[in-house]
Amino acid sequence: MKPTVTVLDYGSGNVRSAVRALERAGAEVTLSAKAADVLEADGLVVPGVGAYETVMNELRQVDALRMIGRRVAGGRPVLAICVGLQILFDAGVEHGKRTQGMGEWPGTVEQLPAEVLPHMGWNTVEAPAESVLFDGVAGERFYFVHSYAVQAWDFDVTQPKMRAPLVTWSEHGSRFIAAVENGPLSATQFHPEKSGDAGARLLSNWVGALPKKTGPRKTGQSNIKTEVR
């Protein structure tokens, strides 16, 4: 039985390519912001394109921040992409304005100190050896489109048995966080759905790690179709 994945539909662009890429990765995909679809799927993908403040406001309008928080608190897998990664940090600063984020991880999203912005194109990453997402593709290039990023990581593990998040880095003007793997919560600054074979392998790694269902689905949850508007 294929794992079910919901791509959060809150007004962000580029969702069609994400839906198709996840289907090719072996998931049964629905595009939705309905609570049942978001909370009950095996995996949730949070895309993000545009300004930090705008994405936060759009997520609030569909109650997505609460639903994402519920999934993370319950150990349910979430994969966030591009600005989806950025809003998981403490805050974002764009054009001198600071916008509060979800605060799942410490750090502030700020403009990259690069001569050419946006950072648009293919770039390599530095992934930790234990990474699940980058298994088999740690040395490959991925596709980035962004001008802002988190350029420092200061995560204090206060509980001895707690595993520190795995952080992947890249560089454009300065080193910046390209991906984070933190238990059920994973995120990439780049677009895996636009990153060719390497991105396809990364999505397959994530889909393949989703909890497997046992037994039949509940009535009304079979034959979930991709709903693209």
Active site (catalytic) residues? 82, 191, 193
Cis, bond preceding 184 (omega within 30 deg of 0): no
Q: Are 142 and 123 in contact (CB under 8 A)?
A: yes
Q: Which amino acid, one-letter code, is at 210?
A: L
226: left (phi over 0), alpha (psi -120 to 50) or beta: beta
Q: Are 176 and 112 in contact (CB under 8 A)?
A: yes
Neighbours of 102 (CB within 10 A): 18
Q: Which residues contact 74 (CB under 8 A, 6 or more apart)?
A: none
Query: 136 to each of 19, 102, 211, how far by Cα in Å?
Result: 22, 31, 21
Interatomic CA distance for residues 131 and 52, integer angstroms: 27
Q: Are 22 and 192 in contact (CB under 8 A)?
A: no
Q: Which amino acid, one-letter code, is at 217?
A: R
Q: 3-state DSSP call for residue 22?
A: helix
Interatomic CA distance for residues 79 and 212, integer angstroms: 17
φ/ψ of residue 178, rounded to 5: -100, -20
